Structure 1
Amino acid sequence: MKRAQDLTLLGGGAPLDLLVVGGGIAGAGIALEAARAGVRVALVEARDFASGTSSRSSKLVHGGLRYLAQGRIGLTREALHERQALLRDAPGLVTPLRFVLPVRRGDANGRRKLGLGLALYDRLAGQRSRQWHEPQALLAAAPGLQGAGLLGGWSYLDAQVDDARLVMRVLAEAEAHGALLLNHLAVESLQRKGAKVCGASLVDALDGNRFTVEAGCVINATGAWADDLRGSLGAKPVLRPLRGSHLLIPDWRLPVAQAITFYHPEDGRPVYALPWEGATLVGTTDVDHREDLAQEPGITQPEFDYLLGAMQLAFPALALKPADVCATWAGVRPVVASGKKVAPSKEPREHLIVDEQGLITVTGGKLTTFRSTALLALRQAANHVPALQGLVTPAAIFDPTPPGAAQALQGLSPALRERWLARFGARAPAVLACAQAGELQTIAHTGIALAELRWACRAEGVAHLDDLLLRRTRLGLLLPQGGQALLPQWRALVQAELHWDDARWQEECARYQTLIQRCYSLPKT
């Protein structure tokens, strides 16, 4: 019902001040700050919210220690500032994570060199977090870690996040400030008055309907797909799409109390194993993505072997095998090409903001810096939207959650109360209100309650089963085979909330199974 109302407002209402194209973290941040500024803003996403890079990242909120090693001090300082803001304003959703860097005899990066780098990292962050640990302490924190030649290791603090839920929290805040948000609504073409972009023709992927919207400014926040929209204006490509792939391994097979990071013996790139949502996340690769961007990416066999091989070398006593991997995923990073013949990991990670005939493209940034990038993009958009002139940085990323929200959740377990306040903010009491008998029980080992599925179906724009299980919740990653064994248990809930008949349910299950096998499982040899 709400989608129909929003489509009516978008297609038949007054011209927009701002149309944001792209429903990942970049677009979500722009929509939030624009709505806070009081302009009439709508965000459209061709697929699902966070369905691109923003649900397929390494789940980290960090300053970027390796960017510091490349001399990108400004980028690191900005990211560390935004990391601290996210830790302050999104507790429970963005959480501190200690990283450990083992040091072995003969390493190119020894104790002194790493210590100096971490000292600078701490100085930019404005606080000391680095610590030196003796070998026994490292082996206690990571059972099975290779002990040969181990001299000890440094640790330091960064943070992690459920990336897709961060996007949904930002979008919820934007909607609360008046933004219109529509997924599965694609831009077919840009509209122009003379040489200036003044709107877009849209097509609804769910029913095929088409309509046109006018806007004082259009912002292209489509990430790795940004060159497609720019290309319709004749602009030359600026991106070098790079793929980062990951493994998820049950924590009982690869137990780590904190993130363990080391340099891969093949190419010297940092790889890591870190605790995430009750499992262990292994990442990441950094390779040119030459496949069609219209197809969802998946891990390749060489990438799988690269990551699993690194863990087998680092944790030889665990005897890890391919069958121990419960899920994989790959995301395409929108990296701005330097034009130089450099390895993928050497390309800069700075954002790009460019105004071309009234189309403002923002791409190439980091998840951590989404707010600061959004504000820069909107200051550029002020040339076309006068109401954005004088835009100031907000005191907090999110509005304070009303005290009554926490009080309304007193009957929940402490873990579930903290989880819901972090992910849903002021809407957490509404999640509880929609729960039916037995729906406050968590599913398997995940910490996700069945009520979260009901709420997502009812209020978070779910159109397909993968929207629900891969992004609104992470059940598709955390459960074997994407949780397909539990689909019969969830069937009645999903069909009732989304008004799917039996034929639609079967169609969605088949679609979901195909997606899991192709993009989230072990690569096919």
Structure 2
Amino acid sequence: MTDGDWDLLVIGGGITGAGVLLEASRRGLKALLVEQRDFAWGTSSRSSKLVHGGLRYLAEGRLRLTRESVREREALLRDAPGLVEPQGFAFADYGASRRKRRSFLAGLAIYDFLAGRRERHWVDAGGFAMLAPNIEQAGLQGGIRYMDAKTDDARLVLRVLDEAREHGAQARNYVAVDSLLRSDGRVIGARLRDARTGSIHEVRAPLVVNATGAWAGALAGQGSAPRLRPLRGSHLVLPAWRLPLAQAVSLMHPEDGRPVFAFPWEGATLVGTTDVDHADDLAGEARVTRAEFDYLLNALRAQFPQLHLEDADVLATYAGVRPVLDSGSHGAPSKETREHLVWDEPGLVGVTGGKLTTFRAIALDVLAHVARQMPAWRPDLSPQPVFAPGFLPRGPRGVPAALLLRLAGRHGRHAQDLVDGAQEGELEFVPGTLTPWAELRWAARAEDVHRLEDLLLRRTRLGILLRAGGAEHLERIRAICQPELGWSDAHWEAEQAAYLALWRSHYGLP
């Protein structure tokens, strides 16, 4: 990191920082990204996993944000097959007024127009019951169906970072910024601390980007950051057999009318989300409260009463903190804007807010501010394909094409190496998931894993897809990954104990 100067130092290893690193490096800047924890450790591995155009924003009259989101969704669907996938949504109608139904359908027509699509949205009661089995039938008039998309958010971050590295960038996890370096009132770099060794380094760059999201105000030595209102979004994960869905189901919570969704994800069913003020210390991990757990489970019980869902049906929970701009209105959290904000001072550009879906547009906005402070750099900031065209890896006979597409989407240029490195039986799925064992081997070998939680919560998502965080599979995971990581027995056992303790306190039932 300290070998020579950099054109750009990016602080923050979530989707926003990764996007800035990619868009800067593909336009010729020598760029370095540092993340104080693991890549995607914060909000970008704890989102609702949706790549969506923001139908709610359209209803609120935010046409520009909706248009931008829809276009970015379509770009990701085009450029990231196997990683970003279409997801149908179904919204049940239990006798809403014709006027309200017409308004909803008119909004969807605009939504389709912005995306260049044209689809049929109204489904009668019989058709809707087929889309959403087990849904409450009493009073069902039919429903509305529309298309959005979903992804594995942590893998999206890792793919963006790898694409940036292909363009010459570097990215380092577990490297924290102690303070910014200044000269004559201008930021000229940062003082970095390696969390693994404790060593201190100074890195110089004419421009620094603060892309730390909800943590934007905590960077020592920076100027005035915008006021943020950290909002917690919590989620439940259930086995697909316990809550089987062919489509995502959107429903209005019976207590307060807020939208709640459930949809098939990675071989399980994901349920979310809450939107509450997060008052805990941002240095710690967010966790689901008992009140949020009950809130989400009660929504499912109301929509799927015949399933008789109980606490024990939940495999795992997770919560993330959204970097939402504070309007100062002290109104409902869901009313705060999800638009991003860029601010700057000499040598520093900061960015916060925004959505997972629009990370490319946010990055290009950041680089427009960077360019104003770098007169000699005259980039073309028109959008480019999110990822370079890829190729399906060649697998052994009998390996499903869907698995090869998945690996290409998540691992890009490394997919063939992953397949070639798989040992006997490792292209089979970990039971109850869509994750092949080979992804664990590749992550341990080549994806900057420094903690067991990196492997099981972000490189793969086994920690939230399996009961008890995958404890029953840890023996085989150890056999695959310990030699690749080069950890001693004592090191593995310490990491395993730390991971299981973290899972119980932050990913289990509250």
- The interval holding the TM-score normalised by the smaller chain is over 0.9
1:480 paired to 2:467: yes
Percent sequence identity is: 55
2:216 paired residue number: 226
Task: State the 1:415 CA deviation.
Answer: 2.5
What are the residue-to-residue correspondences of 1:117-128 with 2, within 5 Å?
117-128=107-118
Task: State the 1:438 CA deviation.
Answer: 2.7
2:447 paired residue number: 460
Task: State the 1:108 CA deviation.
Answer: 9.8
One-letter amino acid of the counterpart of residue 484, structure 1 = A
1:19 paired to 2:29: no
Q: What is the alpha-carbon distance in structure 1 between the residues aligned to residue 495 and residue 99 of structure 2? A: 50
1:165 paired residue number: 155
Task: State the 1:107 CA deviation.
Answer: 6.4
Give SS of 2:328's match. Answer: coil
2:244 to 232, 251, 255: 255
1:187 paired to 2:174: no
Give SS of 1:298's match. Answer: coil
1:508 to 495, 500, 504: 495
Give SS of 1:396's match. Answer: coil
Give the 3 Å change call, closer, same or farther, for CA 337–15 of structure 1 in structure 2: same
Q: What is the alpha-carbon distance in structure 1 between the residues aligned to residue 374 and residue 119 of structure 2? A: 43
- Equivalenced residue count is 510
1:319 to 305, 308, 330: 308
Q: What is the alpha-carbon distance in structure 2 between the residues aligned to residue 236 and residue 406 of structure 1? A: 45
Task: State the 1:356 CA deviation.
Answer: 2.4
One-letter amino acid of the counterpart of residue 410, structure 2 = R
1:31 to 17, 21, 31: 21
Give the 3 Å change call, closer, same or farther, for CA 341–394 of structure 1 in structure 2: closer
Give SS of 2:382's match. Answer: coil
Q: What is the alpha-carbon distance in structure 2 between the residues aligned to residue 382 and residue 409 of structure 1? A: 48
1:436 to 406, 418, 423: 423
Q: What is the alpha-carbon distance in structure 1 between the residues aligned to residue 94 and residue 412 of structure 2? A: 44
Deviations 1:398-419 (A, max 9, x none): 0111x5x534677733232111
1:306 paired residue number: 295
One-letter amino acid of the counterpart of residue 212, structure 2 = T
One-letter amino acid of the counterpart of residue 243, structure 1 = R
One-letter amino acid of the counterpart of residue 476, structure 1 = G
CA contact (8 A) 2:225 2:350 kept: no
1:5 paired residue number: none
Deviations 1:363-382 (A, max 9, x none): 10100000011011011111
2:385 paired residue number: 396
CA contact (8 A) 2:254 2:302 kept: no
Q: What is the TM-score when the length of structure 1 is the normalising length?
A: 0.94
1:517 paired residue number: 504
Q: What is the alpha-carbon distance in structure 2 between the residues aligned to residue 326 and residue 377 of structure 1? A: 39
Task: State the 1:117 CA deviation.
Answer: 1.8
Deviations 1:46-84 (A, max 9, x none): 000011111100000001111111111100000000000
1:427 to 410, 414, 429: 414
CA contact (8 A) 2:6 2:32 kept: yes
Deviations 1:280-309 (A, max 9, x none): 111100000000000100100111111000
Q: What is the TM-score when the length of structure 2 is the normalising length?
A: 0.97
CA contact (8 A) 1:379 1:388 kept: no
Give SS of 1:430's match. Answer: helix
Q: What is the alpha-carbon distance in structure 2 between the residues aligned to residue 350 and residue 168 of structure 1? A: 23
Task: State the 1:451 CA deviation.
Answer: 1.4
1:94 paired residue number: 84
CA contact (8 A) 2:250 2:261 kept: yes
2:191 paired residue number: 201
One-letter amino acid of the counterpart of residue 135, structure 1 = A
Deviations 1:297-333 (A, max 9, x none): 0100111111000000000010000110001100100
One-letter amino acid of the counterpart of residue 434, structure 2 = G
Which deviates more from structure 2 when the two are superposed, residues 79-88 or residues 374-383?
Answer: 374-383
Gaps of 5+ in 2: none
Give SS of 2:137's match. Answer: coil
Gaps of 5+ in 1: 1-9
Q: What is the alpha-carbon distance in structure 1 between the residues aligned to residue 246 and residue 439 of structure 2? A: 27
Q: CA RMSD in A?
A: 1.6
What are the residue-to-residue correspondences of 1:39-58 with 2, within 5 Å?
39-58=29-48
